[in-house]
């Protein structure tokens, strides 16, 4: 008799709200999501569901998640490249760590609109690691993986990578699952054992075509995560 062992991967389903939602709207989203979870008896626990709200919502998001006993964790969307001190407007790793265990780093919108380069991204990864935050490092091509390779490996791969091709972000035009799989597999050749997510126009209708691919460990969802019931469908269908 042959016994087949199926290696079940734990999927990451991460919402990136970008610069959206007030504290009140954050509370409503979490309550609506929770109603959907409990109403549909959805098991969210089998997947790692993470919501990246804006800094001002992080504290209340954590309060609501605990109060509702929701199996959802928080991420910040950015981190200061410096520790505490005279850096007006920045939010440092120690401040984030009070409310979240994850932080998105190097999102293409930060590279494009705020001039972040690979050096800045490397400093942010370092700060995340220093404060025991798991970085979710966004990359839009393999060159960016190569340039962060040593940083990623020096942290024993305690990092999550999100492959987000520029043309797919916010465009409604997702990459093909085959191409995303091929890039994810190449990323894993460069940095072994690192979870690789796909991001770019993911919806409840296409999510499974990505998450069923062997090298893809989950999704990073922007626009479609703003609606709690659509995001819940994404979690269910992944």
**Which residue, 216 or 221, is less far from ligand PEP as judged by CB?**
221
Given 26, 201, 204, 211, the residue binding ligand PEP (CB under 6 A): 201
Q: Which two tokens stand for residue 91?
A: 């939010």
- Cβ(33)–Cβ(70) below 8 Å: yes
Give 39 or 172: the residue with its C-beta nearer to ligand PEP.
172
Is 221 an interacting residue with respect to ligand PEP (CB under 6 A)? Answer: yes
Minimum distance, C-beta of residue 147 to ligand PEP, in the bound complex (Å): 20
Is-catalytic flag, 73? no
> Taking CA 72 as the corner, what is the angle to CA 70 and CA 75, rounded to the nearest 5 degrees?
145
Rounded CA gap, 159 and 133, in Å? 9
59 is catalytic: no
Subset of residues 48 to 77 that bind ligand PEP, contact rule: CB under 6 A: none
Closest approach, Cβ 18 to ligand PEP, in A, equals 7
| Closest residue to ligand PEP using C-beta atoms | 222
Task: Given the residues 73, 107, 181, 233, select the one marked as catalytic.
Answer: 107
| Number of shown-chain residues binding ligand PEP (CB under 6 A) | 13
Contacting ligand PEP (CB under 6 A), which of 213, 222, 235, 238?
Answer: 222
Per residue, the 3-state secondary structure of the chain, as one string, reads CCCCCCCCCCCEEEEECCCCCCHHHHHHHHHHHHHHHHHCCCCCCCCEEEEECCHHHHHHHHHHHHHHCCCEEEEECCCCCCCCCCCCCCCCHHHHHCCCCEEEECCHHHHHHCCCCHHHHHHHHHHHHHCCCEEEEEECCHHHHHHHHHHHHHCCCCCEEEECCHHHCCCCCCCCHHHHHHHHHHHHHHCCCCCEEEECCCCCCCHHHHHCCCCCCEEEECHHHCCHHHHHHHHHHC
Q: Which residues ranging from 7 to 26 are in contact with ligand PEP (CB under 6 A)?
A: 16
CB of 14 to ligand PEP, least distance (A): 9
Q: Evaluate whether 181 touches 215 at the Cβ level (below 8 Å).
A: yes
Q: Which of 223, 228, 231, 233 touches ligand PEP by CB under 6 A?
A: 223
Q: How far is the CB of 83 from ligand PEP (least distance, A)?
A: 27
Does residue 206 bind ligand PEP (CB under 6 A)? no
Residue 164 binds ligand PEP, judged by CB under 6 A: yes
Question: Is residue 169 close enough to count as binding ligand PEP by CB under 6 A?
Answer: yes
Query: Considering the complex, what minimum distance in angstroms separates the CB of residue 140 from ligand PEP?
Result: 10
> Which residues contribute to the site for ligand PEP (CB under 6 A)?
16, 164, 169-170, 199-202, 220-224
Active site residues: 107, 164
């Amino acid at each position: 008799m042959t016994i087949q062992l199926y290696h079940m991967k734990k999927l990451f389903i991460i919402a990136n709200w970008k610069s959206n939602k007030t504290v009140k709207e954050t509370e409503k989203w979490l309550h609506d999501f929770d109603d959907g979870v409990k109403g549909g008896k959805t098991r969210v626990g089998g997947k790692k569901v993470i919501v990246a709200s804006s800094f001002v919502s992080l504290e209340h998001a954590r309060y609501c998640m605990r109060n509702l006993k929701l199996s959802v964790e928080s991420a910040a969307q950015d981190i200061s490249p410096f520790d505490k001190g005279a850096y007006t407007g920045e939010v440092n790793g120690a401040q984030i760590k009070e409310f979240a265990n994850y932080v998105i780093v190097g999102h293409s919108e930060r590279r494009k609109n705020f001039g972040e380069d690979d050096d800045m991204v490397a400093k942010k990864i370092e700060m995340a690691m220093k404060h025991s935050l798991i970085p979710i490092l966004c990359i839009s091509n393999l060159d960016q993986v190569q340039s962060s390779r040593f940083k990623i490996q020096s942290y024993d791969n305690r990092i999550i990578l999100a492959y987000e091709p520029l043309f797919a972000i916010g465009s409604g035009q997702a990459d093909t699952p085959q191409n995303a799989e091929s890039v994810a597999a190449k990323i894993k050749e460069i940095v072994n054992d690192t979870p690789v997510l796909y991001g770019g126009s993911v919806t409840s209708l296409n999510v499974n075509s990505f998450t069923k691919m062997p090298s893809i460990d989950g999704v990073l969802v922007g626009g479609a995560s703003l609606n709690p019931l659509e995001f819940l469908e994404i979690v269910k269908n992944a």
